[in-house]
Chains A and B, each alone.
Chain A
């Protein structure tokens, strides 16, 4: 934008500078001129006075006589003067600048002049020569003459300096007359004028130079000022813009806050409803007398309410991940048939309760696998399906799946015969915290997050969604998802085996009785401990519970476990550190991390630390049993009695074992004696050392009971609880005796 200069600096500067130059030039000129003229006058005057003296000395006396005859001055006299005096005077002044000499007496009569015509004439009283005479001082005048009669002839246009010098009679000292001398100072004068012009030119040039410099500086300053002004203007505009932005941001924030408040109120309702069911039915279950049917109904309601709550929490977690930009996508090869089947299974109960039918129709050929995030795609399909069911009271939900080879994408459309929406509602459909109509939330359960989350996930998967809807007739959501590139992918013409619902169910079925083995749970939360314990009671597996990572490491090194379930967040030592310590110690068995975080990053950390599997908290029984069956399935015959197993050195032949046992028993009486002596002498150190050895050896040589009691003694003594140890020491001695006796009998 062009702006007027705020200051007319250059103009003011120009005017003042010009005035200054003029004044300075004039003043300088005047000073120089007057000085020069004064000098010129003085110089000429000195010359004139010298000349005057010469004339006065040489010639004037000759006029004295004439003076007396002046009354009767005649032509003859004049001629005489001319003849007698003219020549010497002219000789005197030839070669000087003097161009005329004039003498006149006290009365003003010209008694001699180089212009002889003037001789005899009278000068007026106010003539400067007369004033000089009266004042008895030299008076000089500089004047310009158009024509001047010099003794050399008539001169034109000259500068003349005339000096009137009074002359005194050397004898009497009385003034006798005045000699007026004229000098031609035209050259001198012109030289002065020339110098004057040069000086003025120089001065003006210097001033102009200074002015030019200053002008540049000033102009620069002015342009800086103008720029500053423009910047200021710009800045103001920016501030204005920012203010507007802030204003709109504030408006948006206020609006968002309002929406969130509504959402929270709605959410609170959403959470309270299932919680009420959970609490109410749980309390009802506390009553002892209850029919089985009723009990089952109550339990089912509690479970489904719990699952519903879990879904809400998962949605909120996803939302917070989206807002924190931490929603990770993990793509892999995925069977669309399994995804669709999973999703329809998840909504099957919901549809059944409302008396709706969910149909699936595949338009073959469809690739066997697509490359996408299975978890997120399932979530999207589930959200769309459950949404369709939510807003449909009668009819069917139809899922159609097809493949478009042109753009290598999969088309999944989910249509319902529900209430439908108008255009405005369709436009607002994917905004967070909104349902198509806020009044719906009273009638239709839901947080209003599902579709928003789906939309974000759809973007993350580089997919697109189209919605068509007719109010009162129903809606159709069509999803286009890139199929990705997979090598050796096959186009199928039928649903692959293992993907239909029945087969799926079969696949999902877990024989809990087949799950067996020793499980270590490291978990500090008592409720989760109870939950895992309850689940494991349904299987043939045995559970050991520890409360932190340290205990988990100790337990893992001491006993054999077929699976370790490790919570990640625990006091004293967290799960990750415990896992890495166990792995460093050479623990090779499977370890599964129980984590509240489903994020890929934390999963990667777990893998790095050395864990084999994950289970996200909260988990349902199916997920838990799936995990168990992955590691403990068909384990029924191994580790059935872990103690027995642990006592056997199963890699040793029976002869070797027997030989080892015999050698151990050989030394046993010696150790027994040592123990007894130490007990008598209260030598706790020896007692501890011997019992420690027995603990380490007993089990390995086939006497687990010895290891158990010896370990107890060793531990008690290590804590300096001697009185408590005494009983156990006695038991240890008894055990040794029993072993020795048994051995005797056997041999």
Chain B
């Protein structure tokens, strides 16, 4: 809360990005970087090292899970939440084993995003 948090939002649907942005704004996060595909997300992450990243799984070019694996290989401490319309167990397992710090199923409400922010703050305060 003392520091201004930056978030990376990667989703091919602009509306979905907007939705998440509004929710984050209400959670005192006001700096965003937006990507509409996985490739841009990786590039933006490299450039800005955001505090928390929300990656949609089904994105063109590079999907969310590959994107996650790529970012985690370079920044193991990055806090990355995967967002998906699917909740099938295999995808969840793959995401978690690839190092996702959270997994949110669409449609989500603000509570889930808030929970992720809490989890992020907790992980940063303990480390």
Contacts and interface: CB of A to CB of B under 8 A. Distances in A.
Contacts of A586: 81, 101-104, 112, 115-116, 119
Interface string B78-95: 000100010111001101
B61 interface: no
Size bin of chain A's contact surface: 35 or more
A650 interface: yes
A660 B110 contact: no
B85 A696 contact: yes
Contact of A707 (B13, B16, B88, B107): B107
Interface string A567-583: 00000010000000100
A652 B26 contact: yes
Nearest to A587: B115
A667 B15 contact: yes
B85 to A, nearest CB: 4
A433 interface: no
Contacts of B108: 700
A584 interface: yes
A368 interface: no
Contacts of B77: none
Contacts of B19: 649, 660, 697, 700-701
Contacts of A648: 109
Interface in A210-258: none
B120 to A, nearest CB: 9
Contacts of A645: 109
A652 B106 CA distance: 17
Chain B, interface size category, equals 35 or more
A696 B104 contact: no
A553 B105 CA distance: 11
Contact of B23 (A553, A652, A693): A652
Interface in B57-89: 58, 81, 85, 87-89
Interface in A544-570: 550, 553-554, 557-558, 560
Nearest to B20: A700
B23 A651 contact: yes
A151 interface: no
Interface in A624-654: 645-653
Given A586-B116, A663-B18, A697 B105 contact: no
A652 B20 CA distance: 11
A588 B109 contact: no
A407 to B, nearest CB: 44
Interface string B18-31: 11001100110000
B92 A697 contact: no
Nearest to B81: A586
A695 B87 CA distance: 13
A354 B110 CA distance: 59
Contact of B89 (A553, A584, A651): A553
Interface in B25-65: 26-27, 58
Contacts of B115: 586-588
A649 B87 contact: no
Contact of A695 (B22, B102, B106, B116): B106
Given A553-B89, A554-B87, A554-B88, A581 B96 contact: yes
A731 interface: no
A585 B85 contact: no
A656 B23 CA distance: 10
Contacts of B111: 560, 650
Nearest to B90: A550
B19 to A, nearest CB: 5
B114 interface: yes
Nearest to B106: A696
Contacts of B15: 660, 663-664, 667, 697, 701
Contacts of B118: 588
Interface in A691-730: 692-693, 695-701, 707, 714
Contacts of B93: 581
A663 B104 CA distance: 23
A664 to B, nearest CB: 6
A581 B19 CA distance: 26
A86 to B, nearest CB: 138
A494 to B, nearest CB: 44
A651 B16 contact: no
B33 to A, nearest CB: 20
B122 to A, nearest CB: 10
Nearest to B107: A699
A231 to B, nearest CB: 62
A496 to B, nearest CB: 37
Contact of B27 (A553, A558, A651): A651
Given A586-B101, A586-B115, A558 B87 contact: yes
Contacts of B103: 557, 584-586
A572 to B, nearest CB: 9
Contacts of A697: 13, 15-16, 19, 106-107
A523 to B, nearest CB: 18
Contacts of B109: 560, 645-650, 700
Contacts of B13: 693, 696-697
Contacts of A649: 19, 22-23, 109-110
Which of B18, B88, B116 neighbours the largest number of chain A CB atoms within 10 Å of its CB? B18
B127 to A, nearest CB: 16
Contact of A553 (B18, B92, B116): B92
Given A586-B116, A660-B22, A698 B87 contact: no
Contact of A660 (B18, B101, B116): B18
Nearest to A577: B93
Contacts of B104: 557, 585-586
A663 B27 CA distance: 22
B1 to A, nearest CB: 15
Contacts of A651: 23, 26-27, 110, 114
B119 A588 contact: yes
Contacts of A557: 87, 92, 103-105
- In this complex, which of A586, A649, A692 has the most chain B Cβ atoms within 10 angstroms of its Cβ? A586
Contacts of B105: 557-558
Nearest to A555: B87
Nearest to A664: B15
Nearest to B118: A588
Nearest to B13: A693
Contacts of B116: 586
27 contacts: A553-B92, A554-B88, A557-B105, A560-B109, A581-B96, A584-B100, A585-B95, A585-B103, A585-B104, A586-B104, A586-B116, A588-B115, A646-B109, A650-B110, A652-B22, A652-B110, A656-B22, A660-B19, A663-B18, A693-B13, A695-B85, A695-B107, A697-B15, A697-B107, A698-B107, A700-B107, A701-B19
Given A554-B87, A554-B89, 8 more contacts: A581-B92, A584-B103, A647-B109, A652-B22, A652-B23, A693-B85, A695-B107, A697-B16
The 8 closest A-B pairs by CB, nearest first: A699-B107, A586-B102, A696-B106, A585-B103, A651-B110, A651-B26, A550-B89, A696-B85
Interface of B: 13, 15-16, 18-19, 22-23, 26-27, 58, 81, 85, 87-89, 92-93, 95-96, 100-112, 114-116, 118-119
